[in-house]
Amino acid sequence: MSRYNGKIVYVDFWASWGTPCIHEIPYSHKLYDELKKEDIAFLYISEDVGFKTLLEAIPAFRIPEKDAYLIHAPLIYSRVVSYFNIVNIPRYLIFDKKGMLVKENAPHPSNPEVRQLLTELAKKN
């Protein structure tokens, strides 16, 4: 998270095999395009099995490589997933500019409320 210091971070826990996850990806791209001038980073954490699957999914879903990470499946064994109690995906988290978790069940990218929430947080010091 240190590389995102000073930015709001919108974290997307997803998998390339998850239909609800795939459904949200175009909305995530649209949200990114609308907010790219703000201090907001989008971080994609995949639960795909193996790096090969993730490496194939990154270009297929236009996930920025620098912001894509793999959590080894199954989810339950990951410390990150356990820490944030990720049971179902997709799941979204929002961190403030200081790296503090401010929304542990953030709205999905398809939810219009998320744009306003992220914009308001980005304007705070």
Enumerate residues 6+ apart whose C-beta is below 8 A from 94: 8, 9, 10, 11, 101, 102, 103, 106, 117, 118, 121
pLDDT at 73: 52
- Tracing tokens 């639960």 back to the chain, one arrives at 47
pTM over the 0.75 mark: yes
Q: Could you list the mean pLDDT of each consecutive 10-residue stretch along the chain, which spans 125 residues?
A: 86 90 92 90 81 75 68 59 87 95 96 96 86
pLDDT at 102: 96
* Fold of the domain spanning 2-123: Glutaredoxin (3.40.30)
How far is the CA of 57 from the CAs of 10, 47, 51, 71, 102, in angstroms? 19, 11, 10, 14, 29
CA distance 86 to 113: 21
pLDDT at 81: 77
pLDDT at 104: 94
pLDDT at 20: 96
Q: At what angle do helices 19-35 and 113-123 cross, to 10 degrees?
A: 40
CA distance 102 to 23: 25
Q: How many CA atoms lie within 13 A of 123 on its CB side?
A: 6
